[in-house]
Chains A and B, each alone.
Chain A
Amino acid sequence: MSHDHDHAQPHRHPPQPDEEDTTPPEYRRLETAVRELLLEKGLFTADEMRQVLERFDSQTPAIGARVVARAWVDPAYRTRLLADGSAAVAELGIDMEEVKLLVVENTPQVHNLIVCTLCSCYPRPVLGLPPDWYKSRAYRSRAVREPRSLLREFGTVIPDGVAVRVHDSSADMRYLVLPMRPTGTEEMGEAELAELVTRDSMIGVSLPRRLQTAKG
């Protein structure tokens, strides 16, 4: 698009609407009303709530990538991680809070895929907030109904000889996929390996980055 700016002559662009310029949806208004009531009644303080939001925003897939990279370089850690995910991530200073972490391992015979068909359960302490598609009805239903064609749309083709094992986070466990370590990474250190581990590879819709697309 051609757009000739003459900065010598100021002109007005149409203003972008601020958040307050649109009508908030019903659940937003409900949340505001309940939150204000809880604050007024002193059940928690504004600062406590801010701290929770700050903690949510500090959780990112880089935390899960650190866990995966450690399991790749330390076979004893991998064994502990598969036996008791919550305890093994606590070794790295990660608190799973009230839910339990269950780590499922990809192998040459098995590819794992995580979904929550009922809502949007997700291992937030290790992956942060879920992507919007993870919460969509299309993903939630197709992950259990036609996982192979769903995976193809993510660019992930699972060979016929490999079983697709879907995990529905229907109750109190949260799941993290331990992807297979890419070939040709034998010389790489833990921090470098963590760079290969993407969010999607830990949900199971994708595989880790390969060397040619990796940094360095």
Chain B
Amino acid sequence: MNPPFFAGDRVTVRRASPPGHVRTPFYVRGQTGVVERVLDAFANPEELAYGRSGLPRVRLYRVRFRQLDLWPDYQGQPGDTVDVEIFQHWLEPAREEVK
């Protein structure tokens, strides 16, 4: 199991492409952001889509990404961000890049 995350933690979204009903947008897969807040646990939509219970519930997080990290050619301001809701099994502790 993944460890639970807390507001302020840096997290990386898994870069995976499983088939089925997945609510992790492609544009944040593999990207690193900061947990903006911890939400409730909800039934897993990847299971609900196939008529299963979706239980046990999965913890949901709001992760804030810098636009400049998502789109290198972003036309805007450095403070612009996108917040995305991501389930815990899609998150890993941030892997900081070593240059």
Contact = CB atoms under 8 A, between A and B. Distances in A.
A124 B81 CA distance: 25
A90 to B, nearest CB: 16
A170 B75 contact: no
B85 A118 contact: no
Contact of A171 (B23, B79, B82): B23
A137 B71 CA distance: 18
Interface in A113-141: 117-118
Contact of A168 (B25, B67, B80): B25
A83 to B, nearest CB: 11
B96 interface: no
Contacts of A163: 77, 79-81
Looking at chain A's contact residues, the main secondary structure is mixed
A73 interface: no
B42 to A, nearest CB: 5
A62 interface: no
A170 B25 contact: yes
Contacts, number: 71
Interface string A151-165: 000000000111111
Contact of A160 (B40, B45, B60, B77): B77
Contacts of B81: 163-166
Contacts of B42: 171-172
How big is chain B's contact interface, by range? 20 to 34
B65 to A, nearest CB: 9
A147 B71 contact: no
A118 B23 contact: yes
B88 to A, nearest CB: 11
B83 interface: yes
A117 B27 contact: yes
B84 interface: yes
A209 interface: no
A164 B65 CA distance: 12
Contacts of A164: 67, 76-77, 80-81
A170 B86 contact: yes
Given A117-B27, A118-B23, A173-B39, A168 B75 contact: no
A170 B23 contact: yes
A166 B36 CA distance: 13
A148 interface: yes
